[in-house]
């Protein structure tokens, strides 16, 4: 069985440190009004951005579990 | 290491030849749509998102090539895909920060942004760094193409009785000549359309190879069971080995590389700038990162995974010690029939060519915009007409393309001694991207960031980066996350973290010292000695930079000199550069996107959301202004007002905006379903008579 250093630590680091950059980006975009949540189109874009983050998280988690247990 | 030669048959070479001829003819056909430098470089800002999204595939896949990811797949398994799945973190910054800024400010190159945001001297330094980056990227592309072709060629050939060895540099030179010829006569529209074709072919060829490989092994479950669990993990080991580890690659590719690729790769940015609007650019970028990159990860890496399985099951066929950079070609040859192998190789090399020609085109754009035009403006006394200027610039762009191609070939020498292309590319990214990445990032998202901060970060940041290269254990070591230093290529990837931190620290500290710097330089100005003092300081900073970067003194002294130098440089910049914190940030940072939109439009923004309308066109003869006239009904449907911006295109969606034009709404009329356009619109939109047009309000 591969060690924690090869399985979940990279995953946690990727979505933890990467997540900090991602959330900072959202905060900057919303605070500056570049992503204006009063606009219908921009609300849609916010949902797309959050979906993308979860989508990649799911892909990595799925393949890690598949590699270990399938 | 087991090296291969003479792989492939004459049928494969014939298929490759025909494929290349077809692609070049295809590109030349669309080359006729270039009428000026704007079209040559930017494709005229008219395309729809799907066309650009597919055209990016060939550029993205080509640059993150089959060869290097197959090599990493062969050495490390599925984790070779990780660099394709870590670009999302910067999407909010890109989609709602950098992309609208670049489009609305109408900058034609990244250095031009630096001039608007900071000063001409910041532009000059950014141009140098960016050209280094682009030429290096071109070099990596050539090296990859050479490595792909080499196993297919004999070890040597006889000409006029003499024996000539086939070398990597020889192959690279021949490839460069072909690439140079194509790009010189193509231009951006040609590149977009050839990339569109090649993107589709590439995905098909990659999946074909995966299907053939899995079939060869006896099915997917056999293939899956054959690989050890470590090989099936999607992320590499956290910090081992030094040549391929998660944390180093996260900082090198996930951070520096992602920002570099999205924010400063002019080849990619020019594609987004070729979309008809910011929203279409967003769609193209999202589609590319969400769907095309994961698919591309399989396309580029699968030959390595199949190669690994083959080396376990048939070690005589694929020896485990095969040169990793050759594994793609070796596997493709084993699992496919003659002719099919040629097709796969043609798709691969053509895609690489797409990457390289996109980069050459982009570098030529930087040359024209940031070197040629400023020089002509400064030294030419003759005033040319717009047409004359454009003709001259188009000629200069073509000459520049040739020169850049030659520089790209020369830069291969710097990379060819790395164990794999992947490591060469990793080293290149960690070294060249951080100063520009930090500067672009702070410039776009931090209003307070000053010219002294950016210039000190460029000069002293680079000096500290060089110092890190000279003393890796002492300076990069504290950030190594437990990675063991390989003395032949120390900290290939994690150096990106050190490089980013030193550039960022200098930029932030100097910016926060702005008040102190202003007070000091104000005193100089008051006493009338500012010019004299800065004249003395300039050579001092040059000497300090050389002392630091040439490793003449010891590490503590060099470190102290670099830090003192950053302060001296910021004093010179604060004293000499005219910077207005309001004027130089308006529309140029994320905090004033609305203003950028207004500057782009030239008036207040009409935020009302309207529909698209279908109309027939008529030519107006009495008015030659850049306006189009719709009926009252269509104006109402589009929620448009006179003076708003409009985008009109041929209604045939599959054209992807090739036949389209941007204009301004003029006074409405009473003929429902008719738009009046000028002869100029007809010519630049390439509209066909009697064809239906679709119109939508741009803003």
**Predicted confidence (pLDDT) per residue in B475-525, tens digit:** 999 999 999 998 888 888 999 999 999 999 999 999 999 999 999 999 999
* Same-domain check for residues B115 and B251: yes
Name the CA dihedral angle for B186, B191, B197, B199, rounded to a multiple of 10 degrees: 150
Contacts of A8 in chain B (CB under 8 A): none
How confident is the model over B353-389, as pLDDT tens digits?
777 877 787 788 888 888 888 888 777 777 677 777 7
Query: Do the chains contact at B89 and A21, CB–CB below 8 Å?
Result: yes
Helix axis angle for B340-367 and B327-335, nearest 10°, is 150
Interchain proximity B88–A68, CB inside 8 Å: no
Whether B495 and B556 map to the same domain: the answer is yes
CA atoms within 13 A on the CB side of B358: 35
Q: pLDDT by residue (tens digit) across B71-119? A: 889 988 999 888 889 889 999 999 999 999 988 888 877 888 999 999 9
The answer to the question of residue B510 being in a domain is yes
Same domain for B490 and B619?
no
CB of A68 less than 8 A from some CB of B: yes
With CB atoms and an 8 Å threshold, state whether B85 touches A60.
Answer: yes
Instruction: Note whether B668 and B540 are same-domain residues.
Output: no
> B342 and B214, same structural domain?
yes
C-beta neighbour count of B479 within 10 angstroms: 19
Is A6 an interface residue toward B (CB < 8 Å)? yes
How close is the nearest chain A Cα to the Cα of B234, in Å?
6
Question: How crowded is the C-beta side of B681, counted as CA atoms within 13 Å?
Answer: 29
H/E element holding B158?
strand B156-159
Q: Where are the domains of chain A?
A: 8-69
Measured in angstroms, the CA of A12 and the nearest CA of chain B are apart by: 11
Best to test chain A binding among B87, B96, B229 (most A CBs inside 10 Å): B96
Check: CB of residue B637 under 8 Å from CB of residue B697. Answer: no
Q: Are residues B472 and B374 part of one domain? A: no
Chain A residues inside the 8 Å CB shell of B250:
10, 13-14, 17-18
Q: Are residues B670 and B536 in the same domain?
A: no
Judge if B387 and B470 occupy the same domain: no
Contacts of B593 in chain A (CB under 8 A): 32-34
Q: Which of B364, B396, B415 is the last residue of a domain?
A: B415
Q: What is the CATH number of the domain that holds B675?
A: 2.40.40.20
Which of A56, A66, A68 minimises the CB distance to B85? A56
pLDDT beneath 50: ranges in chain B: 41
What range defines the domain where residue B509 resides? 448-576
Q: What is the ipTM of this complex?
A: 0.96
Chain B residue numbers with beta carbons less than 8 Å from the beta carbon of A10 are 235-238, 246-247, 250
- Categorise residue B553: left if φ over 0, alpha if ψ from -120 to 50, beta otherwise: beta
**Are B696 and B661 contacting, i.e. CB atoms less than 8 angstroms apart?**
no
Residue B586 forms part of a structural domain: no
Inter-chain residue contact A5 with B232, CB threshold 8 Å: no
Same domain, residue pair B462 and B502: yes
Please judge whether A34 and B89 are an interchain contact, meaning their C-beta atoms are less than 8 angstroms apart.
Answer: no
Domain identity same for B242 and B353? yes
Q: Give the count of domains, chain B.
A: 3
Task: Tell me if residue B648 falls in helix, strand or coil.
Answer: strand
pLDDT tens, residue by residue, B589-641: 999 988 888 888 888 888 788 888 998 988 887 777 888 889 999 999 898 88
Q: What distance lies between CA B632 and its chain's CA centroid? A: 44
- Among residues B527, B561, B576, which one ends one of the domains? B576
CB contact under 8 A, B230 and A52: no
């Amino acid at each position: 069985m591969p060690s924690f250093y090869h399985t979940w630590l990279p995953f946690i680091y990727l979505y933890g440190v990467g997540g900090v950059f991602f959330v900072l980006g959202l905060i900057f975009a919303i605070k500056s009004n570049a992503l204006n949540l009063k606009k219908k189109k921009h609300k849609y874009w916010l949902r797309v951005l959050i979906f993308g983050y979860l989508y990649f998280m799911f892909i990595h988690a799925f393949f890690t579990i598949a590699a270990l247990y399938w | 290491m087991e090296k291969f030669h003479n792989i492939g048959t004459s049928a494969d070479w014939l298929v490759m030849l025909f494929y290349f001829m077809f692609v070049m003819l295809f590109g030349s056909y669309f080359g006729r749509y270039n009428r000026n430098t704007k079209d040559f470089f930017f494709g005229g800002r008219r395309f729809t998102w799907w066309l650009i999204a597919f055209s990016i595939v060939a550029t993205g896949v080509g640059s993150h090539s089959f060869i290097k990811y197959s090599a990493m797949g062969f050495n490390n398994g599925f984790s070779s895909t990780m660099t394709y799945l870590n670009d999302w973190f910067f999407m909010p910054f890109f989609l709602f920060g950098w992309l609208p800024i670049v489009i609305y400010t109408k900058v034609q190159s990244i250095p031009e942004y630096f001039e608007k945001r900071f000063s001409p001297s910041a532009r000059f330094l950014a141009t140098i760094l960016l050209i280094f980056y682009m030429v290096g990227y071109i070099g990596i592309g050539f090296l990859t193409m050479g490595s792909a072709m080499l196993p297919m060629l004999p070890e040597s050939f006889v000409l006029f009785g003499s024996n000539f060895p086939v070398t990597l540099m020889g192959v690279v030179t021949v490839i460069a000549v072909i690439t140079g010829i194509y790009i010189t006569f193509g231009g951006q529209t040609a590149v977009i359309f050839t990339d569109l074709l090649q993107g589709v072919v590439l995905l098909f060829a990659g999946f074909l190879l995966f299907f053939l490989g899995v079939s060869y092994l006896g099915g997917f479950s056999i293939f899956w069971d054959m690989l050890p669990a470590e090989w099936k993990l999607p992320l590499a080991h956290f910090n081992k080995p030094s040549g391929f580890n998660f944390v180093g690659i996260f900082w090198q590719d996930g951070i520096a590389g992602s920002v570099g690729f999205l924010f400063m790769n002019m080849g990619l940015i020019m594609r987004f700038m070729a979309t008809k609007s910011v929203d279409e650019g967003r769609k193209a970028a999202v589609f590319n990162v969400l769907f095309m990159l994961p698919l591309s990860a399989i396309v580029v890496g699968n030959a390595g995974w199949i190669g690994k399985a083959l080396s376990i099951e048939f070690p005589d066929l694929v020896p485990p010690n095969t040169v990793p950079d050759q594994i793609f070609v070796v596997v493709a040859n084993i699992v496919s029939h003659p002719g099919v192998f040629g097709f796969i190789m043609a798709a691969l090399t053509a895609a690489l060519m797409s990457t390289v020609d996109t980069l050459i085109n982009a570098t030529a754009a930087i040359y024209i915009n940031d070197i040629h035009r400023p020089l002509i403006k400064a030294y030419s006394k003759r005033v040319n007409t717009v047409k004359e200027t454009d003709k001259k610039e188009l000629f200069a762009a073509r000459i520049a393309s040739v020169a850049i191609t030659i520089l790209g070939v020369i830069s291969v020498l710097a990379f060819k001694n790395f164990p794999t292309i992947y490591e060469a590319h990793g080293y290149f990214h960690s070294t060249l991207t951080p100063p520009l990445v930090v500067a672009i990032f702070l410039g776009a998202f931090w209003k307070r960031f000053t010219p002294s901060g950016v210039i000190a970060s460029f000069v002293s940041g680079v000096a500290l980066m060089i110092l890190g290269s000279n003393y890796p254990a002492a300076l990069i070591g504290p950030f190594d996350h437990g990675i063991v230093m390989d003395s032949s290529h120390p900290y290939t990837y994690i150096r990106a973290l050190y490089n980013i931190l030193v550039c960022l620290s200098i930029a932030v500290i100097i910016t926060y010292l702005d008040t102190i710097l202003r007070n000091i330089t104000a005193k100089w100005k008051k006493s009338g000695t500012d010019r004299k003092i800065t004249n003395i300081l300039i050579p001092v900073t040059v000497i300090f930079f050389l002392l630091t970067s040439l490793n003449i003194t010891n590490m503590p002294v060099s470190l102290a000199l670099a830090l003192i130098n950053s302060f001296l440089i910021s004093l010179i910049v604060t004293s000499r550069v005219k910077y207005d914190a309001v004027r130089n940030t308006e529309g140029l940072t994320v905090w004033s996107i609305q203003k950028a939109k207004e500057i782009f439009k030239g008036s207040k923004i009409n935020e009302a959301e309207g529909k698209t309308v279908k109309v027939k066109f008529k030519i107006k003869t009495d008015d030659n202004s850049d306006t189009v006239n719709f009926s009252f009904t269509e104006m109402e449907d589009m929620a448009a007002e006179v003076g708003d911006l409009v985008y009109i295109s041929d209604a045939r969606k599959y054209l992807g905006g090739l036949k389209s034009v941007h204009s301004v709404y003029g006074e409405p009329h009473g003929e429902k379903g008719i738009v009046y356009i000028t002869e100029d619109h007809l010519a630049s939109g390439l509209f066909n008579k009697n064809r239906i047009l679709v119109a939508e309000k741009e803003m």
